[in-house]
Amino acid sequence: SPTPTAIPAATNDAQFARARGVLPGGVDSPVRAYGSVGGTPRFLVSARGPYVTDVEGREYVDLVCSWGPAILGHAHPAVVAAVQEAAARGLSFGAPSPTETDLAEEIRRRVPAAERVRLVSTGTEATMTAVRLARGATGRELVVKFAGCYHGHVDALLAQAGSGVATLALPGSAGVTVSSAAETIVLPYNDLAAVEQVFAERGEHVAALITEAAPANMGVVPPLPGFNAALARIARAHGALLIQDEVLTGFRVGASGWWGLEGQVEGWVPDLFTFGKVVGGGMPVAALAGRVELMERLAPLGPVYQAGTLSGNPVATAAGLATLRAADASVYARLDTVAARLGDEVSAALSAQGVAHVVQRAGNLFSVMFGPDAAGGVRDYAGAQAQDVFRHAPFFHAMLEQGVSLPPSVFEAWFVSAAHDDVALDRVVSALPAAAKAAAAA
Ligand code: PMP
């Protein structure tokens, strides 16, 4: 006879209780646990277009979009068909397959400096490999990163990381050795003088400078004009590599990612890119890419080892390829329109309630930061942390009550999709006044 746990429980509370009995915190990734907003996470059972549905049968307009991948909306027919077709031909080969080459070519078509591409399964693997490759190529050990930038849970990159590390108010992570932390230099974001100084003092030991192309893991904090170009220049002058982490921005903020909005216009390229999220269309695909002579230092051609049983998985790459092929100019135009309208509406609703805030934007990524200190604009992690964090939880829950699912942390971007039609947007907009009121009362 079936065990009681095999019977699907009908409420989120029951699911959460059951999950906590077997998964630490009831989740497989920390920020899903509602740690900073409190309450019971919604256990989702399906998703379509701009909506997700929980185990209780409630539907929400989704502004998490799987934390980025779902730019076409959930369960886009072309992507689902591609996955079903691929799955029917076999789930994993452990041998090269043509779809991997197709996807890599599509990436290079959009970002020509991605001369060679290594497909992996998570953004974490991509940045971890990028750092190893930079160290292998330069023979140096130090890595420079910015406070508030999240690059996945790589030991060397967890210091003052944003995202869930910020949400849980952790300085870094237990289990990261002193020696690995000592090889990481953390600087304030948007502070070129700090970068210049570190490179002047220790530049000859720096293997890589890694940065989010436009940070969105401390909330959205766009680079000041010319900041990224200066990073490329400084790194090059000292023989270090610039790793531009586009796991979040890549193929979301535009057809060629953040680089397309900035580097392509200004005429510079980073040494290495990392991609994830959209590149897998909701399946586990991420990538590391860059110029030939660097990338060919990876095994099997070179001495920098990296491998993966499921790397370039045929079903996952089919999802990514179908997603990128469907993400045409009209999709990016729609993402921009949706983000512009939502950002404006949120701001208007908060202003109407007298809630000091700023809506920070980077392309179609945006986030709300609360408080008079933030209202003048936030340019680094210290500024993001100085906001009125306490206003987020009541705002979040008021939206959730009214059927809108926001990121359950103030240190995360809001994600839109091209499937967010006017019906879905109107639902969000009509929920805003009550949420703004709740934020004001906090
Ligand atoms: N880099 C950035 C900029 C990210 O936003 C993320 C994930 N949010 C990662 C790396 C890590 O990717 P993953 O969660 O797939 O390991």
Residues 269 and 389 in one domain: no
150 a catalytic residue = yes
CA torsion, ordered 405, 411, 417, 422, to nearest 10 deg: 60
Residues 172 and 147 in one domain: yes
For 251, left (φ over 0), alpha (ψ -120 to 50), or beta?
A: left
Residues 321 and 337 in one domain: no
Both structure tokens of 220 = 């959205």
Q: Report the separation in Å between the CA atom of 78 and the middle of ligand 1, taken as the mean of its atom positions.
A: 25
- Please give the helix or strand (H or E) that residue 197 lies within, else none: helix 192-202
Both structure tokens of 123 = 């953004």
Q: 150, 189, 332, 381: which one is catalytic?
A: 150
Ligand 1 pocket residue status of 286, Cβ below 6 Å: yes
Say what the pLDDT of residue 82 is: 98
Helical residues (DSSP H) of 7-71, grouped into ranges: 12-20
Q: Does residue 185 belong to any structural domain of this protein?
A: yes
Q: Does residue 433 belong to any structural domain of this protein?
A: no
Residues 339 and 191 in one domain: no
- By the 10 Å C-beta count (0-12 exposed, 13-18 middle, 19+ buried), 7 is classed as exposed
Which domain, by its residues, includes 356? 329-362+369-406
Ligand 1 pocket residue status of 152, Cβ below 6 Å: yes
Q: Does residue 108 belong to any structural domain of this protein?
A: yes
Ligand 1 pocket residue status of 412, Cβ below 6 Å: no
- What 3 state SS string does 93-131 have? CCCCCHHHHHHHHHHHHHCCCCCEEEEECCHHHHHHHHH
- What is the Cα–Cα distance from 133 to 33, expressed in whole angstroms? 34
Q: Which of 326, 350, 377 is the last residue of a domain?
A: 326
Q: Does residue 164 belong to any structural domain of this protein?
A: yes
* Structural domain count of the chain: 2
- What is the Cα–Cα distance from 235 to 209, expressed in whole angstroms? 7
pTM over 0.90: yes
Ligand 1 pocket residue status of 380, Cβ below 6 Å: no
What DSSP letter does each residue of 348-365 carry, written as one string?
HHHHHTT--EEEEEETTE
Say what the pLDDT of residue 240 is: 98
Residues 90 and 203 in one domain: yes
Q: Are 245 and 127 in contact (CB under 8 A)?
A: yes
Ligand 1 pocket residue status of 145, Cβ below 6 Å: no
How many helices and strands (H and E) does the chain possess? Answer: 17, 13
Closest ligand 1 atom, residue 127 Cα: 10
Residues 357 and 298 in one domain: no
Residues 386 and 315 in one domain: no
Q: 245, 271, 380, 388: which one is catalytic?
A: 245
Residues 166 and 314 in one domain: yes
Say what the pLDDT of residue 171 is: 67
Q: Does residue 46 belong to any structural domain of this protein?
A: no
Of 155, 217, 228, 259, best ligand 1 pocket probe by most atoms within 8 Å of the beta carbon:
217
Which of 169, 28, 33, 65 lies closest to 406 in space, CA to CA?
65
Residues 242 and 268 in one domain: yes
Q: Does residue 11 belong to any structural domain of this protein?
A: no
pLDDT by residue for the chain (442 residues), tens digit each?
445 554 456 999 999 999 999 999 999 999 999 999 999 999 999 999 999 999 999 999 999 999 999 999 999 999 999 999 999 999 999 999 999 999 999 999 999 999 999 999 999 999 999 999 999 999 999 999 999 999 999 998 988 887 777 777 666 788 888 888 889 999 999 999 999 999 999 999 999 999 999 999 999 999 999 999 999 999 999 999 999 999 999 999 999 999 999 999 999 999 999 999 999 999 999 999 999 999 999 999 999 999 999 999 999 999 999 999 999 999 999 999 999 999 999 999 999 999 999 999 999 999 999 999 999 999 999 999 999 999 999 999 999 999 999 999 999 999 999 999 999 999 999 999 999 999 999 9
Residues 300 and 394 in one domain: no
Residues 112 and 258 in one domain: yes
Interface pTM, i.e. ipTM: 0.99
437 a catalytic residue = no
Buried b (16+ CB within 10 A) or exposed e, 362-395: bbbbbbbbbbeebeeebbbbebbbebbbebbbbb
Q: Which of 326, 348, 378 is the last residue of a domain?
A: 326
- By the 10 Å C-beta count (0-12 exposed, 13-18 middle, 19+ buried), 64 is classed as buried
Say what the pLDDT of residue 1 is: 46
Q: Does residue 77 belong to any structural domain of this protein?
A: no
Query: Which DSSP letter does residue 334 get?
Result: H
CATH of residue 86's domain is 3.40.640.10
Residues 245 and 378 in one domain: no
Q: Give, using CA atoms, the residue closest to atom 1 of ligand 1.
A: 151
Q: Does residue 437 belong to any structural domain of this protein?
A: no
Q: Which of 268, 302, 326 is the last residue of a domain?
A: 326
